[in-house]
Structure 1
């Protein structure tokens, strides 16, 4: 038993040295192999690797994936019109040079993000300060992002960082100018609405005037046509009267006198002051005057 104890201790030491000399590099990480505090090797391919046990060599892992920096609060940026905008952005970045990155930041991703956020703010100011609100929001939005990407990528390269993409997620007016902007927009919409109402009123007056003109023309034409028809009717009636009068003048006089009597004495309260000897009462004095025979055609038979 006493002989086996040293063997077990030696075996445990050997296993410990073996485990401390083996390390695994995954697909998501870089591995920096340090030898007495100096970077000896940068390993980017996944696999099983060997090293000397500590303290002779040790391994530090860095993230190989694309990382995201999101601004915790929207950045307040001023445009060329001296208007403040709140811009919310995010940046995609990755470690391109693990050795340089470690030398710069000591492998601290948090320190790298803070440094990159400061550079992003500077790039945002540089791109937005020379543009108007309209340019930033609509016309030059892609150019702004391209300029920020180029600016930050150029400054991040000496840090061992690659900037993959920059995006502006949200652009808003600062609260102190939002009300004035809304009031100006409301005034502009009101002006456009009043202009459209004026145009509509003018068009309405034009349509009504044209309709009135057409109405007058139609009424005039209808009146002229009615007068023509009435004149033709009166002429035809006169011809009929003349023809009837020519066939039996005495009967025609008698018939007209009856019509005059009916009109004059249509109401019991009517009063007529006339000389009894006038011709108006000739048929009252002589109700059976001598009349020639009335043709059947004249009597309407």
Structure 2
């Protein structure tokens, strides 16, 4: 009976010691075996590990890629237009021994505080350099700037046992007190560009109008010249016909011209003539014989 009382506690103690000497490392973790605060072993592969019970302890760290949001900071690029920058970083614990020696028992909280300070300093350094303006930060070139910040921060982060995977600028905006001045400057620039466009449009319109006016003058002059030529040719043809008719039958030609004069004198509302009865104008109306060759024909306004 006394032996049984001793065996059972011994088994319990042995079981406890056996279980305490075994630990499991998840695939998402890295582990350190510490003895009185000193690193005795590093377990980076998933599986079972062993330690000395009661003397050694196991500290586990996350082996996944972690994210860190940095507080908003104000930067001043080369053009002196201040900006508020909100960035974040992706990092992981690369060297667990270095990490433990750098942060001690503070763990991730201490590491992230120090990493945040490193990132803020590098953001100010890169975005405040002489070759970087606010337009550069707000353009597609910001991808190159983020790579520069990442590369600049990696060396100091390595001293903490960390590897920075990526750095991103989430937001970049103006301080509240600068918004009104910036909007006014942007409005002035757009108005200047609009005025330039209007001036160029007016210049083009003037060229088009001048060309159109010149074309009108040229076309009108050509048309008038052609009209004068045609009119002259028509007058010549008319005179030729009159001369030919006069040469063939002078009496008939004079009779025809008298009728034409009557038609022109009495057309429209002008139907009353006041002339002497013996006027030569009515010679062909008075004589039933149609007048004579020696009788002059009335003048006709052509």
TM-score w.r.t. structure 1 length?
A: 0.85
Is residue 2:3 matched to residue 1:16? no
**Contact 2:283-2:291 within 8 A present in 1 as well:** no
Gaps of 5+ in 1: 293-301
1:183-230 alpha-carbon deviations (Å, 9 max, x no partner): 212211211111111111111111111111111111111111112112
User: What SS does the aligned partner of 1:159 have?
Assistant: coil
**Contact 1:67-1:92 within 8 A present in 2 as well:** yes
Mapped partners of 1:260, 1:137: distance in 2: 91
Partner in structure 2 of residue 223 of structure 1: 224
Equivalenced residue count is: 290
User: What SS does the aligned partner of 1:108 have?
Assistant: helix
User: What SS does the aligned partner of 2:246 have?
Assistant: helix
Question: 1:244 and 1:33, CA in 2 relative to 1: closer, same or farther beyond 3 A?
Answer: same
**Contact 1:62-1:107 within 8 A present in 2 as well:** no
Partner in structure 1 of residue 159 of structure 2: 158
Partner in structure 2 of residue 295 of structure 1: none
**Contact 1:251-1:291 within 8 A present in 2 as well:** no
**Contact 2:284-2:291 within 8 A present in 1 as well:** no
> What displacement does 1:122 show?
1.5
> What displacement does 1:113 show?
0.4
> What displacement does 1:235 show?
1.3
Alignment of 1:104-115 (within 5 A): 104-105=102-103, 106-115=105-114
Partner in structure 2 of residue 50 of structure 1: 50
Alignment of 1:53-92 (within 5 A): 53-54=53-54, 56-71=55-70, 73-92=71-90
User: What SS does the aligned partner of 2:277 have?
Assistant: coil
Alignment of 1:1-301 (within 5 A): 6-54=6-54, 56-71=55-70, 73-105=71-103, 106-131=105-130, 132-138=133-139, 141-142=142-143, 144-266=145-267, 270-289=271-290
TM-score w.r.t. structure 2 length?
A: 0.85
Gaps of 5+ in 2: 294-302
Question: 1:161 and 1:265, CA in 2 relative to 1: closer, same or farther beyond 3 A?
Answer: closer
Question: 1:251 and 1:136, CA in 2 relative to 1: closer, same or farther beyond 3 A?
Answer: closer
**Contact 2:73-2:84 within 8 A present in 1 as well:** yes
